Structure 1
Amino acid sequence: MLKRIAVTELCLGMYIHEFCGSWMDHPFWRGRFLLDSERDLQRILDTNIHEVWIDVGKGKDVAPGQVSQTVEEVEAEAEAQLLAVVEAQPMVARASLEDEVRRAHKLCTRSKQAIVAMFCDARMGQAVEVEHAAELVEEISNSVLRHPNALISLARLKTSDEYTYMHSVAVCALMIALARQLGLSEEQVREAGMAGLLHDIGKMAIPDSILNKPDKLTDAEFATMRGHPEAGARLLLGGGRISALVLDVCLHHHEKYDGSGYPHRLAGERIGLFARMGAVCDVYDAITSDRPYKRGWDPAEAIRKMAEWKGHFDPLLFQAFVKSVGIYPVGALVRLQSGRLGVVMEQHEKSLLTPRVKVFFSTRTKMPILQEVVDLAKLAGRDKIVARESVEDWGFKNIEELWSGRERGEGSLFD
């Protein structure tokens, strides 16, 4: 049985099942282990992780009277928080997902090339070409305007070796979508996009041995990596012509709403609006992307987990973010009441609970079925989403091909 407890309640002999927070918040290469070392206990207490899941079937239980929550209780809370945002309408798509994905494939290629060149210049001490960056933001903004989910979802499929560069493209698109969801002016939308594009430029000051390490970082390496916001601010200040808002996001996108973030432990609205937006967008893309040492989470699972992280994000901005990407984002694997499994293809223009889903598998026969796109808004009372599902649990391969048209050459869906 799993229970969620505060890290201050941890004791030796407990079995840690999962840390409550992004894996970027702690230096452990493993997520599940028996806590049998005082050093490991202290390392956990020294991180910004406030809560953990323990498995009481594999280790010690909490003492009588200690506060804990079961999986069912925590998921009910997260579900209630997410359902609280379903009344608001997400953005209406102006182009079909299929059409915009085709454009976005080409844009991703051009964007990666531009970001690689820009970041390499920064590493060599050269100023960021603001005009070129602005042109790229404009292209990304136009794509998000044509369809809010195509480029965002496609950029999530980055390989681990291109993560640093494509992460910047993804966060740029997410910031643009969130800014529009908040009703900001088009000038502010583009400013948000520029901030997303440049938020991680400080990683160019981090040694490649740390930046591209295929395993979890040591404590010392983790401390070095945490210096990238301040390094980025220095790079941008040295080049000039960068707005204060963009600089603020670069410096403060790892701050947390409860004040436990870095580098300055700002809390609440002491963190600028764009930096609070950047915190949400940065984490979402990071945890849904594959890394050398960890598979990315399913997008719907990522949204649910982020809803559980108390104090991490501005709650109102997180709700707006959910409206912009959906409770079940494009590419999420879901189970329908009919027993079919499918991937989310597109959000409905008026309800976050009734997306278009491509069904492809029966949970009853455990066999593939004829692929078909169903509009859940038209099946009200007859079929609906009843659960999120894990791609790894089902053993599906290359599931993104079902919605993206992107072939990875790694075998079929059911290999």
Structure 2
Amino acid sequence: MFIEAMECPNDEFSGRRFYVQSDEMLRAILATSAAYALVNPHKSMVGAGPDTTAGRQAEEQAHTLEVVSQSAHALRDGFAAARSGRFEAGTLGPIADNISDRIEADPDVFLKVTRLKTKDEGTYVHSLAVSALMMRLARLLHYDEDAVRELGVAGLLHDVGKLMVPNAVLNKNGGLDTDEKRLMRTHPELGYRLLRDQGGVSNTVLDVCRHHHEALDGSGYPLGLKAGQISREVRLATVCDVFEALTSARPYKRPWETRDALNWMFERGHLFDKKLVIRLGSIFS
């Protein structure tokens, strides 16, 4: 059938005036917030030529949606294995490869798809998005491919400590109280200890897990490290983590526009590495 219009924001689904040509395209449409789509029955019957650009965009989005969904389920299994002491870091490499392919294909589409995460899968899809951003940024900074993949795994695992934080706190509507904030701030150290005790986890992955909430001026946590004590890899992870959090919908806030998030971070050079913020911004059209 030929779709004339979708009743949803352009930044959620950019396709307009196109043929639905596959089940993947249909799934991409169903994943949006649109309650209605305007179908042109005449064009659907006569088989008028499709809008190939919109069709390609829809297929790209559908493919990315499928990869993100499968990767989120695989990451959930990886987190469960870590909690039970059966974790093997090598099992996450293929997940990193798959999402790296998707963000390389189209960073804007990848970020749009990850914005569709539900409350239950929020931590997993957030970790996928952070991982993909870290790999894309690392390539821009000319890291070799082994290091890129290691950073991808680090991104996947940076929030594994949230397994020990109650869902009532993770998914709370509204701001956290003092005790809840204190509990939330334990997740980097808890995740670090969990991974350290597993064995076979690289120092880079451990550092990213433990220090991704540190800030250049020493105001971060859990150790209050200052600029000279924070590695470039951790700085990279922090920039990607905060950007993804700002541009995502949360129970307590609306998502920020990409430009607003980048500007906010750039203006806070006492917290974030401004050079990395600039390079991160170059990823998006």
For residues 200 and 255 of structure 2, the distance between their equivalents in structure 1, rounded to whole angstroms, comes to: 35
For residues 145 and 269 of structure 2, the distance between their equivalents in structure 1, rounded to whole angstroms, comes to: 31
Task: Identify which of 144, 147, 150 aligns with 2:109.
Answer: 150
Alignment pair present for 1:322 and 2:284: no
Task: Identify which of 178, 195, 220 aligns with 2:154.
Answer: 195
For residues 144 and 209 of structure 1, the distance between their equivalents in structure 2, rounded to whole angstroms, comes to: 31
- Contact 1:178-1:320 within 8 A present in 2 as well: yes
Alignment of 1:7-406 (within 5 A): 98-123=58-83, 125-325=84-284, 347=285
Distance 1:113 1:174, change over 3 A: same
CA shift, 1:161, in A, is 3.4
- Contact 1:248-1:275 within 8 A present in 2 as well: yes
Distance 1:298 1:116, change over 3 A: same
For residues 174 and 104 of structure 2, the distance between their equivalents in structure 1, rounded to whole angstroms, comes to: 38
Aligned AA (1:234): R
Q: Report how many residues are paired.
A: 230
Aligned AA (2:234): A
CA shift, 1:254, in A, is 0.4
Greater share of residues in helix:
2
- Contact 1:176-1:190 within 8 A present in 2 as well: yes
For residues 241 and 57 of structure 2, the distance between their equivalents in structure 1, rounded to whole angstroms, comes to: 23
CA shift, 1:244, in A, is 0.4
Aligned AA (1:186): E
- Contact 2:72-2:125 within 8 A present in 1 as well: yes
Greater share of residues in strand:
1
- Contact 1:255-1:264 within 8 A present in 2 as well: yes
Aligned AA (2:90): E
- Contact 1:169-1:196 within 8 A present in 2 as well: yes
Aligned AA (2:60): E
- Contact 1:127-1:238 within 8 A present in 2 as well: no
For residues 118 and 315 of structure 1, the distance between their equivalents in structure 2, rounded to whole angstroms, comes to: 33
CA shift, 1:206, in A, is 1.3
CA shift, 1:156, in A, is 2.8
CA shift, 1:99, in A, is 4.5
Residue equivalent to 1:8:
none
For residues 57 and 134 of structure 2, the distance between their equivalents in structure 1, rounded to whole angstroms, comes to: 19
CA shift, 1:301, in A, is 1.7
Instruction: Give aligned-pair identity as a percent.
Output: 42
Residue segments in structure 2 that go unaligned for 5+ positions in a row? 1-55
For residues 181 and 152 of structure 1, the distance between their equivalents in structure 2, rounded to whole angstroms, comes to: 18
> When the two structures are superposed, what TM-score results if normalisation uses the length of structure 2?
0.76
Residue segments in structure 1 that go unaligned for 5+ positions in a row? 1-95, 326-346, 348-415
CA shift, 1:98, in A, is 4.7
For residues 149 and 293 of structure 1, the distance between their equivalents in structure 2, rounded to whole angstroms, comes to: 24
- Contact 2:88-2:200 within 8 A present in 1 as well: no
Residue equivalent to 2:32:
none
Q: Deviations over 1:37-81 (max 9, x none)?
A: xxxxxxxxxxxxxxxxxxxxxxxxxxxxxxxxxxxxxxxxxxxxx
CA shift, 1:193, in A, is 0.7
For residues 266 and 276 of structure 1, the distance between their equivalents in structure 2, rounded to whole angstroms, comes to: 12
Distance 1:261 1:272, change over 3 A: same
Q: Deviations over 1:130-170 (max 9, x none)?
A: 23211101111222333333323321332333211110010
CA shift, 1:182, in A, is 0.7
Decide which moves more: 220-229 or 310-319.
Answer: 310-319
Q: Deviations over 1:232-261 (max 9, x none)?
A: 001101111111001100000001112211
